[in-house]
Amino acid sequence: MQVHATFELSHAQTVFCYVNGHLCGTQEVDATNGSVTFPIEGFWERNMISFVFPTNRRQSVIQIKDVGIDNLYYSILPRVFHDNIYVSNLDQSSEHVFTELYHAHQFEGPGVVGVRYEWPLEEWYFRQQTTDAPAEDKQRLALSRFINYGWTDTKKRLKAGPMHELPILPLDAKLDAGDCDSIAGIFDTDTGNEPQMKTVIQDGQTRLVPDLALKENKRLTLFGPNSADYPKVHEATATSHTWQECEQKLQGIDFYWHHRVPALEQLVEALGIKTLYAIEFRTILPRSIQPVHGDHETKSLFNGLKNRLYIPISWNEHSNLAFYGVGNVKIDLGRVYCFNGNAYKHGARNNHPTKIRHALLITANVDSERFDKLLQESYKKFLSWL
Ligand SMILES: [Fe+2]
């Protein structure tokens, strides 16, 4: 096996690579797109890859751009690994962990950039066969491995654990097939073509940017604020730590049905939703994917199974939704699923040559007795689906 990494540096220098504390080798690295490859013996369940730059000069920048195992690169910047990156000066006097988005780090001299794999990523990734797929296919390949991995042991452990630590749970609530068809029709006939957005937090600032991973996938709001207020709602739900704080940030924003869908209004009522913020499409166009990623809502509000709700509106035999620990999710069209997306990595694909795959994502405060009751009943009824 080999570990590869690409760096952007202020000056060319030597790097030492350590995997789980063992030195794998040392190499010279170019300043721009400096790539290194080190042979490694193998991985543990949780791993630490460190790149040590002992000759880095004062105030020199070290940026890790990508890291890969056996030619399967997984770009760091599209957020998959950002929360597992840390940097420190060589004397370890100032470790900095990127709890937010990773960006280049300026060092005061010799420094270390490390990547921690806190969850056993290698279950679906590291233990696979070597491949030399073209760069654009690598996310697709990683997703495919993620979907196909046999999760037996992890699944057993998760199912035996607390209910709220499940990655996903079907609820005893469902839209009928006719309603799903007409909702999908709203998307297909809408002429608006706004990009789907995501929140990034950098230096404490929240910004809403087009989600490049989903660049082909349109965003359409069924319920929520107008376009101008959308970033505020996205920010409030992604960064607030109490409902009060969230409500404060949302003061004065008008939430309304952009398209009236009586079946959805009834569903919101039936679920016992306390405050509804948004119902939006999450579509995947033919032959497209949503790469493996984690969501960014704060866990203080959108926690566990009260994270977000997901409804598959149209599906086909070439579509998959996969979660860490569960793998390919059994999809029942129109059924509401609790979607624990900020705790577990997930990804989706639509390999159908012509059909769009539609799903709805509901952002809401579901802290209500009725929702709790529904959750408990659904847990008894649908745990065996996982
Ligand atoms: Fe997600």
Distance of CA 295 from the midpoint of ligand 1 (Å)? 5
Distance of CA 30 from the midpoint of ligand 1 (Å)? 36
Distance of CA 29 from the midpoint of ligand 1 (Å)? 35
Could you tell me the pTM of the whole model? 0.70
d(CA 345, CA 80): 8
Distance of CA 212 from the midpoint of ligand 1 (Å)? 13
Distance of CA 345 from the midpoint of ligand 1 (Å)? 8
Distance of CA 260 from the midpoint of ligand 1 (Å)? 25
Distance of CA 7 from the midpoint of ligand 1 (Å)? 28
Residue ranges of the chain that CATH labels 2.60.120.330: 161-385
| pLDDT value for 130 | 39
Distance of CA 291 from the midpoint of ligand 1 (Å)? 9
**Positive or negative: CA dihedral 56, 61, 67, 71:** negative
Tokens 């960014």, located at residue: 296
Distance of CA 344 from the midpoint of ligand 1 (Å)? 9
Residue pLDDT, tens place only, 239-251? 888 999 999 999 9
Half-sphere exposure of 272 (CA within 13 A, CB side): 14
Tell me which fold the domain 2-119 belongs to: Lipoxygenase-1 (2.60.60)
CATH 2.60.120.330 at 161-385, yes or no = yes
Average pLDDT, stretch 344-362? 93
Q: Give Rg (Cα) of the chain.
A: 22
Contact 16, 37 (CB under 8 A): no
Distance of CA 93 from the midpoint of ligand 1 (Å)? 35
Residue ranges of the chain that CATH labels 2.60.60.40: 2-119
Q: How many helices (H) and strands (E) does the chain have?
A: 7, 26
Residue pLDDT, tens place only, 250-260? 999 999 999 99
Distance of CA 138 from the midpoint of ligand 1 (Å)? 19
| pLDDT value for 189 | 80
Q: How confident is the model at residue 337 (pLDDT cuts 50, 70, 90)?
A: very high
| pLDDT value for 351 | 94
Three-class SS of residue 8? strand
